[in-house]
Structure 1
């Protein structure tokens, strides 16, 4: 599986006994490696002497095919679910996918000093995680989920990077099916955990928001100290019913940790953070009301794990957004906002509000949203209708298979002329260049956003190159 997951820091080595104990596997022909194992890898390209290569099998790939290759690279150990004809020590387990989870869980149990936060939600997970990482890593070594390593494979890969000096871990948990968060949160064993929100991401897999709420609420079964609840979400009561811990803390409007005196600027915001420990003003280097909400969520998680208000505020004020998450890029006389990391209907609407705050002619360039199942066409229709209705947005350029559905939605309003639909990026690029030439020398602000698979950053880069 070609996802590079290696870290530069020296990891805790494994003994062959630990490897066998964690996975309950057996050594093929009783042939065991000598010495310690420096790390466990799932990417064959990085495997070398001292590593154990864990061969995952997916729907479209089988890493058992790469075992001869990793042996040639000097790797002496493979963790397999079936013996392979290769000159390498093989630890045979029932299922390598489950073995990866067992190894992650084992590493977590070996670090009892760790204070763990786990969070899930339909949108804002990554930004909230980055804000928490900013707060906690100021105080002590902290492990924070990298990129989108938040599923049943990514979570154990992150746990394998735990080292004795880590005092905190912030784990983002995603769900693409029922039972996944139950599996990963049991592995992570969080002290403090909860849901940030229930939106419309992954509607297809869960058959509606009730299903999404059920899947995300699995996180509450494995918390040892405090459960975090989004007070302002319309599923707040359903979420409360899932809480098993005595202690809980709610955030957002009507919650115990909330924002007041909110001021939204073009590229930042400020607000008063209100908590049981007191109130403090926060100068947040993130734009948009949704990021103020993410900041109050991060504050609630941090308070529940015992972080003081001053440290929370300092962490929020120093936080840096993840790549492709509302990054502001001035280029020539134009502003480009890179929000291409991912998209769901809620985050798309939130991004439009941020664009509406910017200078000059405001152009929103959207790619398709994935994982909406049978509701994809209607969700894109509603999105088209809503985006063109945002006051301050001058043009919406929809790109992709569902762009015509978005355009139909736009045409159901009096603002239909604001939207142009294109089936691919090649068709959209000349229109965007033309738009710039038509409005020159006026200032313009562009925001690019779409689901990961649409690679909207490619279109953004192509336009920037033409300027």
Structure 2
């Protein structure tokens, strides 16, 4: 199996002429390095001989102040908006270093002629679908996959800079914090296949509603190659609007009623079996992921792979060997206790999906939920809606932690009891007491919340007491 990292593949070097051409910049005092540049970095701590340090500027920082420092570390080239005096380092002056990073990423992408690029976005499921696709394509050839959350206007070009001559596939996750961001990043990646997984409620605050989210996500099709394929969710509330954006492309749809769909779904506590139906045939999928939502993710991954003519057998093998990303429904066992780590992030849709997985586990089932961010003015009402829905699930207890924990508790009208706490420090003794009360019974805990809540800390603290 081919790796999806660049650790064993040499990065393509840059010449001084390449850098100037890509960024439309000019060398300060016409001094140009005569050696090739191996890497372009934005982190001054890692800059060394053979690197080019790109000095980004933000609201609270200006990396131009580190140019002298990187010179002492052996770095001979800096890409800057304004030249720094009293340094010997070669300086490429550009209009805007943030945009220069994008131009460099796009330049590297264009220089990879044998590369097929998949771009995906959505309100939930991006990380898991990305990992599934990485597993599928890696059966065939070296594949670059977006790492962590490098899916914004800085992260996407940083990932493109990791492309090597060995890569044949790239799976690029595109996120959106504002209108126009996906238009920008999809232009950089120039995808052969582009698609939306779903239109949910993540980032409601930034876009003022799901219509705005749909508009932002649909930008992913704007730079799809004319000969490319658009991937469309068939049973989303916004399917019709998405289909209007993709009329000029060849399309593949996934989900019930789509080109790629599932039947005979057997949801198990930690895995799923289903029959995969595609225009290329039918096959059984043994998916090492729990939950109906991960069937949807697997269908999406299948559609993306089929668009690049990946054989059905390879897709099945890739899905069977896919591994969940850290903090994405990871099952951790200790004695008679199961902790489900789904702490990577959260939105209302994914909170419900993960709670369904919890309901299929053994013993006393406890949801430990943190706040969900980026909901704007709807934060209180969305947490209340969750409290109402989750209190009717087949689980035994909800422990809500954070600013909106009380909103969850107040709205819970179902049979599931809800305890609410402002802080993790307050919640921990309650959880410990609950375990003592139910000993020696089997217990299953789901920990989930938005990234800023760091619910993995509470999970680790509880596991230390088991």
Tell me if TM exceeds 0.5: yes
Q: Distance in 2 between matches of 1:45 and 1:259?
A: 48
User: Would the alpha carbon gap of residues 42 and 260 (structure 1) be closer, same or farther in structure 2, given more than 3 Å must change?
Assistant: same
Structure 1 position 454, deviation (Å): 0.8
Q: Contact 1:220–1:244 at 8 Å: present in 2 too? A: no
Deviation beyond 3 Å, 4+ runs, structure 1 = 5-9
**Residue 157 (structure 1) aligns with:** 158
User: Would the alpha carbon gap of residues 114 and 244 (structure 1) be closer, same or farther in structure 2, given more than 3 Å must change?
Assistant: farther
Match of 2:390 among 387, 397, 401: 387
Q: Distance in 2 between matches of 1:244 and 1:30?
A: 49
2:162 equivalent to 1:168: no
User: Would the alpha carbon gap of residues 300 and 204 (structure 1) be closer, same or farther in structure 2, given more than 3 Å must change?
Assistant: same
2:313 equivalent to 1:310: yes
Q: Secondary structure at the match of 1:330?
A: strand
Q: Secondary structure at the match of 1:222?
A: coil
Q: What does the per-residue CA deviation read over 1:347-401, in whole Å, with 9 as the maximum and x for residues that have no partner?
A: 000000000000000011111111111111111111111112112x111111111
**Residue 262 (structure 1) aligns with:** 265
**Residue 456 (structure 2) aligns with:** 457
User: Would the alpha carbon gap of residues 86 and 54 (structure 1) be closer, same or farther in structure 2, given more than 3 Å must change?
Assistant: farther
2:19 equivalent to 1:36: no
* Root mean square deviation of aligned Cα: 1.3
User: Would the alpha carbon gap of residues 425 and 6 (structure 1) be closer, same or farther in structure 2, given more than 3 Å must change?
Assistant: farther
Match of 1:409 among 408, 411, 415: 411
Structure 1 position 456, deviation (Å): 0.6
1:297-376 pair list within 5 angstroms: 297-376=300-379
Q: Distance in 1 between matches of 2:8 and 2:399?
A: 41
Structure 1 position 27, deviation (Å): 1.4
User: Would the alpha carbon gap of residues 263 and 424 (structure 1) be closer, same or farther in structure 2, given more than 3 Å must change?
Assistant: same
Q: Contact 1:226–1:245 at 8 Å: present in 2 too? A: no
Match of 1:400 among 394, 399, 402: 402
More off after superposition, 455-464 vs 80-89: 80-89
Structure 1 position 418, deviation (Å): 1.2
Consecutive unaligned residues in structure 2, runs of 5 or more:
none
Q: Distance in 2 between matches of 1:218 and 1:40?
A: 28
Q: Contact 1:366–1:448 at 8 Å: present in 2 too? A: yes
Structure 1 position 244, deviation (Å): 4.9
Matched residue count: 459
Consecutive unaligned residues in structure 1, runs of 5 or more:
none
Q: Contact 2:267–2:290 at 8 Å: present in 1 too? A: yes
Q: Secondary structure at the match of 2:222?
A: helix
**Residue 118 (structure 1) aligns with:** 119
Q: What does the per-residue CA deviation read over 1:134-156, in whole Å, with 9 as the maximum and x for residues that have no partner?
A: 01001101111111111110100
Normalised TM-score (structure 1): 0.96
**Residue 26 (structure 1) aligns with:** 26
Q: Distance in 2 between matches of 1:449 and 1:373?
A: 20
Q: Contact 2:137–2:143 at 8 Å: present in 1 too? A: yes
Normalised TM-score (structure 2): 0.97
**Residue 133 (structure 1) aligns with:** 134
Q: Contact 1:328–1:335 at 8 Å: present in 2 too? A: yes
